[in-house]
Structure 1
Amino acid sequence: MNALAHYLADRHGCPACGDSLAVLLTALQDAHDNGDTLTILKDNTAANAPPVTDSSTKTPLPADSGTEKAPPPMGEGLGWGLKQTTQTITAAILATLAAHGLIGDGSRPTPLVLHGDRLWYYRNYQNEARLAAAIHARLATDGQSDDAAAPAADPNLRPEQQHAVALARRSRLTLINGGPGTGKTHTLAHLIAAELHEHPARRIALAAPTGKAANRMEESLARATAALPAAAQEAVRRATGRARTLHRLLGIGTNGIPQYHAARHLPYDDIIIDEASMLPLELAAALFAATAPDTRLILLGDADQLAAVEPGAILHDLSHHPALQAHRITLHESARFTADSGIGRLAAILGSGETRGARLVAALEAMTADFPPSRRDKAQQHDTPQETPAIHWQPTPSADTYRDLLAPYGDYLALLQNPAADPQTLLAAYDQYRILCAGHHGALGTVRINAALRLLHQRAHHLDTTHNHYHGLPLMILANDHRQQLYNGDTGICLDSPHGLQLHLPGREAVPLARLNPANLADAYALTIHKSQGSEYARVALALDAHSERLLLSRELLYTGITRSKGALDLYADAATLSHAADTPTQRSTGLAWHLSRQAG
């Protein structure tokens, strides 16, 4: 194979097809040059804003390297469902594909699978087909649970939460959907306690798509369980143990092959997956294959949030398919936001209705109009909660933007000067606030913001700028290190000690910085919105660059960023950028719904 063929074989997980895929790309170019087009797709009209398309491909099931991943470029690879894109296929391309045996119907390995106006890479087609079959098999056994009868009402749960518990106890597959603060983890704690009360020996596994999400799941469940009676707390703690990544749950090692699969099922009675919106297709297919028919599978998440970086929008697809409606419940009542709170109103606008961009901008203008600029500037400068509005909007960057972004870290920076402040107090202060960006580039990307805030911090505290790491520097882990229990996306702070700088993270022992690979660390004054999934902060600054990151902007990205805040929100974006994001839903051209419907009848 030539160099291009080798690249394609590795990129698309089809070692035998590298030359064929090179032929395909040549045909695509030739057909484009010849202008011989045969449109089998629906074009978007000029009147509608084009959706953000995700047509990425993926290599074979990856090992759990935990390295930093970026969202795939727009238009990369071929889409799974071409019906909803603006691509065209030419007669010359189809002829070339057929002549080289590149297209099949999925019954045998071919690089591409074509059904009507849908085109897949073979691996994606097979994963979707297997996942759909596993879901139908699970639905066919529904109602056979030992706990089919509805449990007694729990006065500590709202009616919708009681419904979720009852549904999960009688179903082999349950989707519990809900936005931030709707009580998904609180519901889960009561569900597990009810299960263990009747079946003390029940085997329960907790997992999430990433190490950071698994840690958050474990921490959140511990907080929710603390409200239970002492005996129930101990029972839940013993039965659930540590939450793991899905890679670790399935036993996926460096070779990418799961230890648990269709012929060797996971040894659990209940498998509970948190942050299911982040679940990619291949992991979902592997999970369902490895789950025994009589095991209950419970997926929790927020279908309105960002989906996985890899191919797939599993929670979204399942939540919207008619066959799964009896297995799905959405928790609506939020303990974090009221319907008329600033963030609650913005989240509601993004969640439904027409002209969302215009309504979002109008709502922001109304929220900030009653707060005079003089008071707003003073509140921003001194970071006084009583003075600061819940929503602060700076449509136009100024010379003081970076200083404004640093100001809410004021309490944390002041505590750093107190020798008596212990690491946990400092961590708590740091975690009160976070700057979230759409991406890494541009004036409001993580790279520029982190560099600017690093310099401002060093100058304010007279730190030695010749050292890369220093007392008080926030850091993020970029690669999993299971030996030291460090996970991609974890954030902590560098603190001086008699033995040198140490990295402190919540709930874990400090790690000497000398033990860590500097290439796996990044400044963490500002993070991407993707990295913030599953986290929450008292105050969030959402920075959206109007130029460099426009292709990354979407309704789901904006919703995820806004709802990371538990209270105050600082928006750094112009009206056009916000409107564009709100009116641009992420549209993933998946075929899971097609497979589910096809296999159903």
Structure 2
Amino acid sequence: MVEMEGTVERISYHNEENCFTVVRVSIKENNDIVTAVGYFPSLEVGEVLKLRGNWVMHKDYGYQLKVEYYETVMPAGIKDIENYLASGVIRGIGPVTAKKIVEKFGERSLEVLGESPDELLELEGIGEKRKEMIAESFREQQETRAIMLFLQQYGIGPGVAVKVYKKYREKSIEVLKENPYRLADEVYGIGFKTADKIALKMGMAENSTERLSSGLKYTLLNAAEDGHVFLPKQELIHKAKDLLEIEDESLLEQSLRALAEKEDVVIEKTWGREEIYLAGFYLSEKAVARRLFLLAVMGDKPLKISAEHIDRIEKKCSIKLAKRQREALEAAASSGVLVITGGPGTGKTTTVKSLIEFFQGQKLKVALAAPTGRAAKRMAEATGQEAKTIHRLLEYKAYEEGSMAFGKNQDEPLDEDVIIVDETSMVDIILMHHLLSALKPGARLILVGDKDQLPSVGPGSVLREVIASGKVPVVVLDEIFRQARESMIVVNAHRINQGFFPYLNVKGKDFFFEQVIPPEEILNTVLALVKTRLPGYAGLDPMEDIQVITPMKRGIVGVMNLNEKLQQLLNPPDTGKKEWRFRSLTFREGDRVMQIKNNYDKEVFNGDLGRIIKIDEEGRVLVAFDEPGQAREVVYQAQDLEELSLAYALSVHKSQGNEFSAVVMPITTQHYVMLQRNLLYTAITRAKKLLVLVGTKQALSIAIHNNRALMRYSRLADRIVEEFKGARLV
């Protein structure tokens, strides 16, 4: 790391939103002009800076100093003070006023601005209003400088410091000194581990209540990422002990009780075991159970549906409904809430089209929704009706970084009479709570999905638990239609789901298996299939039509390595393509990418797929996302790139809600932990026209016979049963 001091000669670029800046600096030691890039909240020409960072080579702009730490050097001599004030860094002071101030106060000039600004009134041209402007601006400059210096001494780089300062402004230091763990709760993009690093460097005790409380909440949030709505107390304590590296469980118990008293967590005793919820998850689970009960018992009056009705629907839609599909129509007419579930080729889409036709024939307003943009787009294409993501249907609104609310809620409900949700297996407990809260009295809800697919990425297993409760009407579509039976993808998906080995390599069909044993050879086979063999065999575009899906994140045929290899193969470096290095990843124009966390400000969500269409010299990345009706372009600043991953290869979980013309999937015993039936089934059902499994029959057999889905801690089914048992309508 190099250190240097110099004067700002020119500000080439400054982003107001995230403070990323490109600046030309004249170095004090030799008067050389260098380019420095980094995060500077406030900077003006003429300022003197101490910089610390590393030299990096930009392919278009040459060597640049990537600034990790900096501080403003306050001028000492009269000439330096005048240059500093004349630079425009202080509002209300230009070159003429700067000269007057220095002539009047000399080396006391900065002291006057900071400690006795009333003395400025002695100067001609400065009245009360201008004096206040100058004093306030100088104070802001000093506060910014103090905060940056304070944060940097604890190892916080400018990027994080900007986030802290934007949130707390002049109170930043006060907040940090009082409780650094507030950052984990209140500052978007700063988690427990960053806050913990700061707190420990500041000397906060390892067993402080603030640290233990924050660690417990972080452990519950981590568990939610694994799908758990709660954790049993002993499991929570055990995980928190490992995280915090403390031995005294009684201290964690005390902190847990304190969190419960503050209503940050809820402790519920079930069958003699204490179960710990984050308060929001507890309220959501209770509310979902209650609202499903109310929908079931207080739905609108049953609608009449006769055989003639159904005949008319069949004629209008040019379809012939099977027995179960007719049952779905009849159940939807008589129920306030209904679940329709079935595997591929069982006619879910046809059933939805007939439902739309029926309800619209009754002069009812129908809304279609799905969890992801791609799923909503597919729903719209299949039905010929408008479909939205659930977030858009509920009119979500982003506020400060990371915070959001829904415009449609209990107070401002949806206007539609019938809501039909597709891919419901992907909906977590929080989103289901928001959706149910937004239904008007008398509305109907129809949940469509495949109960045997993987559950949501977020907490809960909503579709399965609603079905498991036995209290909500469920229609299972179990007939594979003749046209679907022509597809070995569909046939084998059902065989695998029933625990049978698939038919392999049936001539002229769409389901293939290549026996390859060494992982290195599996990798090479996957790459060859994507690059040359499948395009040659089926006329597929490797960038548009083929998706690699893999069970694991790490390993030779895991997501990370496959993405690196596929990027090199399909979108190699080129002088005509700009790229930007972010941590261990290189993002390049033309890359396929995926959003990996919800960002309400940008209106993009976990699992959204897009393509990089432009990268500029500051690391701003423009991504086009495919959405119902249009492609939407979203700009990512350099530090936002942590929210993107390459998407040439996807994990099975991340592939949910999407369909691809062709899917290539490595399957090896190296993935032993993830060889599960529902995981394999979910991956196979992502393919529309062609599927190739590459690996060993042993690994395939292990996955088919492992029907032990990973358990999730949730009580939704029990709560639904309790609601019906109590039969409380008020």
Q: TM bucket by the smaller chain?
A: 0.5 to 0.7
| 2:512 corresponds to 1:367 | no
What's the offset of the Cα at 1:89?
Answer: 12
Given that residues 219 and 240 in structure 2 are in contact (C-alpha distance below 8 angstroms), is that contact kept between their aligned partners in structure 1?
no
Q: Name the counterpart of 1:273.
A: 421
Match of 2:452 among 288, 295, 304: 304
What's the offset of the Cα at 1:23?
Answer: 4.7
Distance 1:58 1:281 in 2: 14
Amino acid at match of 1:127: S
Aligned-partner SS, 1:434 = strand
What's the offset of the Cα at 1:433?
Answer: 2.6
C-alpha spacing 1:458/1:109, structure 2 compared with 1 (3 Å): closer
- Structure 2 gap segments, 5+ residues each: 1-177, 193-206, 242-247, 580-586, 615-621, 726-730
Q: Name the counterpart of 1:136.
A: 293
Amino acid at match of 1:115: K
| Count of residues in correspondence between the two structures | 494
Task: List aligned pairs for 1:160-179, cutoff 5 A.
Answer: 160-179=324-343
| 2:250 corresponds to 1:101 | no
C-alpha spacing 1:467/1:99, structure 2 compared with 1 (3 Å): closer
What's the offset of the Cα at 1:115?
Answer: 1.6
What's the offset of the Cα at 1:88?
Answer: 11
Match of 1:446 among 556, 559, 567: 559
Bigger Rg, structure 1 or 2: 2
Distance 1:400 1:522 in 2: 23
Q: Name the counterpart of 2:398.
A: 253
Given that residues 510 and 689 in structure 2 are in contact (C-alpha distance below 8 angstroms), is that contact kept between their aligned partners in structure 1?
no
Q: Name the counterpart of 2:31.
A: none
Q: TM-score, normalised by structure 2?
A: 0.56
C-alpha spacing 1:281/1:476, structure 2 compared with 1 (3 Å): closer
Given that residues 392 and 569 in structure 1 are in contact (C-alpha distance below 8 angstroms), is that contact kept between their aligned partners in structure 2?
no
Q: Name the counterpart of 1:319.
A: 467
C-alpha spacing 1:164/1:86, structure 2 compared with 1 (3 Å): farther
| 2:546 corresponds to 1:433 | yes
- Structure 1 gap segments, 5+ residues each: 13-17, 29-54, 60-69, 223-236, 372-384, 416-424
C-alpha spacing 1:263/1:387, structure 2 compared with 1 (3 Å): closer
Q: Name the counterpart of 1:534.
A: 657
Distance 2:255 2:655 in 1: 47
What's the offset of the Cα at 1:170?
Answer: 2.0
C-alpha spacing 1:5/1:574, structure 2 compared with 1 (3 Å): farther
Match of 2:709 among 574, 585, 591: 585
Given that residues 555 and 581 in structure 1 are in contact (C-alpha distance below 8 angstroms), is that contact kept between their aligned partners in structure 2?
yes
Moved more, 437-446 or 163-172: 437-446
Amino acid at match of 2:351: T
Q: Per chain length, whose mean CA-contact separation is higher, i.e. which structure has more relative contact order (CA < 8 Å, sep 6+)?
A: 1
What's the offset of the Cα at 1:311?
Answer: 0.7
Q: Name the counterpart of 1:38.
A: none
Amino acid at match of 1:119: E
Distance 1:151 1:392 in 2: 51
Distance 1:503 1:103 in 2: 43
Q: Name the counterpart of 1:226.
A: none
What's the offset of the Cα at 1:290?
Answer: 1.7
Task: List aligned pairs for 1:204-219, cutoff 5 A.
Answer: 204-219=366-381
Distance 1:569 1:413 in 2: 13
Q: Name the counterpart of 1:231.
A: none
C-alpha spacing 1:535/1:9, structure 2 compared with 1 (3 Å): closer
Amino acid at match of 1:109: E
Q: Name the counterpart of 1:111.
A: 265
Distance 1:209 1:216 in 2: 12
Given that residues 211 and 480 in structure 1 are in contact (C-alpha distance below 8 angstroms), is that contact kept between their aligned partners in structure 2?
no
Aligned-partner SS, 1:390 = strand
C-alpha spacing 1:73/1:160, structure 2 compared with 1 (3 Å): closer
Distance 1:522 1:95 in 2: 39
What's the offset of the Cα at 1:443?
Answer: 1.1
Distance 2:602 2:179 in 1: 42
Structure 1 vs Structure 2: percent identity of aligned residues?
Answer: 24
C-alpha spacing 1:510/1:95, structure 2 compared with 1 (3 Å): closer
CA RMSD of aligned residues (A): 4.9
Aligned-partner SS, 1:153 = helix
Distance 1:577 1:599 in 2: 43
C-alpha spacing 1:552/1:118, structure 2 compared with 1 (3 Å): farther
Task: List aligned pairs for 1:447-526, cutoff 5 A.
Answer: 447-457=560-570, 467-468=578-579, 474-476=592-594, 489-491=607-609, 519=641, 522-526=645-649
Q: Name the counterpart of 1:329.
A: 475
Q: Name the counterpart of 1:72.
A: 225
Match of 2:494 among 337, 340, 348: 348
Amino acid at match of 1:164: A
Of Structure 1 and Structure 2, the greater strand share is in 2
For each residue in 1:178-201, what CA deviation from the matched residue of structure 2 results, as whole angstroms up to 9, or x when unmatched?
1123221221112111222231xx
Q: TM-score, normalised by structure 1?
A: 0.67
Distance 2:309 2:467 in 1: 27
Moved more, 310-319 or 389-398: 389-398
Aligned-partner SS, 2:471 = helix
Moved more, 19-28 or 142-151: 19-28
Match of 2:346 among 182, 206, 216: 182
Given that residues 268 and 276 in structure 2 are in contact (C-alpha distance below 8 angstroms), is that contact kept between their aligned partners in structure 1?
yes
Q: Name the counterpart of 2:323.
A: 159
Distance 1:310 1:541 in 2: 26
Aligned-partner SS, 2:447 = strand
Q: Name the counterpart of 2:681.
A: 559
Aligned-partner SS, 1:599 = helix
For each residue in 1:486-510, what CA deviation from the matched residue of structure 2 results, as whole angstroms up to 9, or x when unmatched?
76645466799xxxx9969588667
Distance 1:71 1:337 in 2: 40
Given that residues 549 and 652 in structure 2 are in contact (C-alpha distance below 8 angstroms), is that contact kept between their aligned partners in structure 1?
yes
For each residue in 1:361-412, what CA deviation from the matched residue of structure 2 results, as whole angstroms up to 9, or x when unmatched?
xx25x736xx8xxxxxxxxxxxxx8598633343433447335434345489
| 2:383 corresponds to 1:221 | yes
Moved more, 516-525 or 95-104: 95-104
For each residue in 1:450-493, what CA deviation from the matched residue of structure 2 results, as whole angstroms up to 9, or x when unmatched?
2223333467xx96597547797545456789999976645466
Moved more, 163-172 or 391-400: 391-400
Distance 1:332 1:163 in 2: 12
Distance 1:502 1:146 in 2: 46
Given that residues 332 and 338 in structure 2 are in contact (C-alpha distance below 8 angstroms), is that contact kept between their aligned partners in structure 1?
yes
Distance 2:486 2:554 in 1: 34
Q: Name the counterpart of 1:120.
A: 276
C-alpha spacing 1:527/1:188, structure 2 compared with 1 (3 Å): same
Given that residues 342 and 390 in structure 1 are in contact (C-alpha distance below 8 angstroms), is that contact kept between their aligned partners in structure 2?
no
For each residue in 1:289-327, what CA deviation from the matched residue of structure 2 results, as whole angstroms up to 9, or x when unmatched?
221230111111111112111111110100121212xx1
What's the offset of the Cα at 1:177?
Answer: 0.9
C-alpha spacing 1:395/1:264, structure 2 compared with 1 (3 Å): same
What's the offset of the Cα at 1:72?
Answer: 2.9
Amino acid at match of 1:205: A
Amino acid at match of 1:193: E
Amino acid at match of 1:526: A
Amino acid at match of 2:476: T
Amino acid at match of 1:218: A
For each residue in 1:185-228, what CA deviation from the matched residue of structure 2 results, as whole angstroms up to 9, or x when unmatched?
221112111222231xx322222222332222222322xxxxxx
| 2:571 corresponds to 1:407 | no
